[in-house]
Amino acid sequence: MSMAIEKMGTYARFRQLALPRTLICGMVIIGVSLLIAFFPALFAPYDPIAFDYKALLKGPTLAHPFGTDSFGRDVLSRVIHAYTIDMQIAVFATVGPFIFGTIVGAYVGYAGGLAEATFGRVVDAVITFPFLVLVIAIVSVLGPGLANMYIAVGIVGWVFYARLVAAEVKVQKRLDYADAGRVMGYTPMRIVFRHLLPNAITPAIVYWMTDMALAILLGSSLGYLGLGAQPPAAEWGVQIADGKNFMSTAWWISVFPGIAIVITGLGFSLLGDGLAQLMRVRR
Amino acid sequence: MPLFSFVLRRILQMIPTVVFILVVTFVLVRLLPGDPASAMLGDRAIDADVERINASLGLDKPIPIQFLYFVKNVFTGDLGTSIALKLPVTTIIMQRLPVTLMLTLMAALLALILAVPLAFLAALKREQTADAVIRGTFQVGLSMPVFYVGILMLTVFGATLKWFPVGGYGDTFGDRLYHLFLPALTLAFSFSAVLMRNLRSSVIGVINAEYVDFARAKGLRPRTIMIRHVLRNALISTVTLFGLQIGTLFGGAVITETVFAVPGAGRLMIDSIYGRDYPVLQGLTIALAVLVSLTFLATDIFQAWLDPRIAR
């Protein structure tokens, strides 16, 4: 079976292999999440930041399926509007590190030698700082808020992508097709970015999916600590912090945003696992 | 003695790392708006006092000289004075750090107790219902933020069932274990998911190795094979992961201690951010980074001891 598949062309193999179930589940969850994130007003029944003093701390009812919080705000509407911020965190906190890390990794992997040794030391040093501790320290120096959070994550996050890409490029550059490129007289730039990188980037893409799940966890943690998205903005971590003092009387304020975090995080993980299966990346 | 020279080489490799840690924390504090003197004296500071304090802190010297002073101070154990508590930062950290260490140690043990049997079960029942259920549960665990798990545990086991205290820290050792149990379980929750995932795949890798076939052919009892041959070898990669994850565990401790009001180093860090107590923030960042790099060192040595090929 596997021998037969190996002999086929890429397109035939793609058709032969049904898409992994995990990938389909992940695509559905993230697709729906993106839809909600772009058009929250279409789904939310109420204004997410409007106070309603006639409906304080009301439990789940038909009018308010997820209940209301201590300002009478509709929890469902806030969870829905939070998709905009939290999906934005997932993308913005990771896309910069992905691009920059990939470029550095490609250079380091191809150049080797001194560049590789220096990079190795940088990696050692960066992973020495507890990630969350360093991000919290940077955010507290720059000031709370999402923009500063992206900067803090970016300063640290690119290293992991660069390490993955460098390792792959190092393998790819010894293969025959790389030699063929050199024989043809292509510039190193062209060989690395046109030929090696497309073959070396898969692990980084798979990691990117997992990293988006981690970014949501980080973003909501900072929101919870008061260092990320600022109230009254609807963000899942901020919402959980809003409700933490009402847990025994009004559990719905914190519990529903948490469920949204878990589902979205699962979506990205499934997407990553599915892609890994599809591309046959060993994790 | 290849192990000895390996350890020596590994310690030398730490030098650039430590320099980097010091440069980063030094730069971080230089980036702050305002100077320490104004922060200490408050709004009503007069210029002469500010200048005097800046001079006593060496802040009137050029930046490279300031850095050398900073390095000298760190190595002599002087991390400055806390603005909020008016105590030496080193003293404060020494009070708070043991709490965090105890919390992370308990969390690591709980995570192992959770992860090892379940990883074995999942690996042995591979691709069956038990495996799917275990992996699914842990996948959900991985997607849960630490503070959310903490709040849920606090509400269910603390406030509602009243099995455990809802926060704080005891006086006697036993009392402390009791107080730290829920926070440690919270931390262990996502950590065990990472461990389980890794251990499951390494058990699957080891279980098909020839030496396991050989042990089976020798007629050893399945239980002996599992513990003496499979577990021991599968744990090697888990030890590495354990070391690499210690930073994540410290990060999680910051949040757990905030949720459960545990007076540890993590809680101190958040307090120092809210109170703009930058000497404490700087000292803590250095202390935690140094602890992590020492853990990496210990992990590498332990690994080299488990598998002498690494030390070559």
Q: For A191-238, what is each residue's pLDDT tens digit?
A: 989 999 988 898 899 999 999 999 999 999 999 999 999 988 899 999
| Cα separation, B173 vs B163, whole angstroms | 18
In chain A, the largest separation of any two C-alpha atoms, in whole Å, equals 77
In this predicted structure, what is the pLDDT of residue A34? 96
pLDDT exceeds 70 at position B237: yes
Instruction: Band the pLDDT of B168: cuts 50, 70, 90.
Output: confident
Q: For B40-64, what is each residue's pLDDT tens digit?
A: 666 666 777 777 777 766 677 788 8
- Which of A141, A216, A282 to mutate: most B Cβ within 10 Å? A141
Helix axes A131-142 and B278-306, enclosed angle (nearest 10): 160
Chain A residues in contact with B279 by the CB 8 A cut-off are none
What's this model's pTM, rounded to 2 decimal places? Answer: 0.86
Q: For B238-268, what is each residue's pLDDT tens digit?
A: 887 888 888 889 999 999 999 999 999 999 9
Q: Extract the residue ranges of chain A whose pLDDT is less than 50.
A: 1-3
Q: Are B281 and A137 in contact (CB under 8 A)?
A: yes
Chain A residues in contact with B248 by the CB 8 A cut-off are 130-132
Q: For B184-210, what is each residue's pLDDT tens digit?
A: 999 999 889 888 988 888 888 888 888
In this predicted structure, what is the pLDDT of residue B34? 61
What's the CA angle centered on A20, arms A16 and A21, to 5 degrees? 130
State the nearest Cα–Cα gap between A217 and chain B, in angstroms: 5
Which residue among B143, B246, B251 sits closest to A269, beta carbon to beta carbon?
Answer: B143
State the nearest Cα–Cα gap between B247 and chain A, in angstroms: 4
Chain B residues in contact with A141 by the CB 8 A cut-off are 28-29, 31-32
pLDDT exceeds 60 at position B301: yes
Cis, bond preceding A231 (omega within 30 deg of 0): no
State the nearest Cα–Cα gap between A193 and chain B, in angstroms: 31
In this predicted structure, what is the pLDDT of residue A96? 95
In this predicted structure, what is the pLDDT of residue B35? 62
- For the question of an ipTM over 0.95, the answer is no
In this predicted structure, what is the pLDDT of residue A1? 42
In this predicted structure, what is the pLDDT of residue A130? 84
In chain B, the largest separation of any two C-alpha atoms, in whole Å, equals 85
Chain A residues in contact with B281 by the CB 8 A cut-off are 137, 140
In this predicted structure, what is the pLDDT of residue B47? 75
What φ, ψ does residue A263 adopt, rounded to 5°? -65, -45
In this predicted structure, what is the pLDDT of residue A35? 97
In this predicted structure, what is the pLDDT of residue B40? 65
Residue B88 carries which DSSP code?
B
Residue (of B207, B195, B209) closest to B237 by Cα position: B195
Q: Please give the mean pLDDT across all residues of chain B.
A: 85
- Which of A79, A140, A155 to mutate: most B Cβ within 10 Å? A140
In this predicted structure, what is the pLDDT of residue A11? 63
What percentage of chain B has pLDDT greater than the value 70?
Answer: 94
| Cα separation, B144 vs A109, whole angstroms | 35
For residue B2, the tally of other CB atoms under 10 A from its CB is: 12
In this predicted structure, what is the pLDDT of residue A224? 93
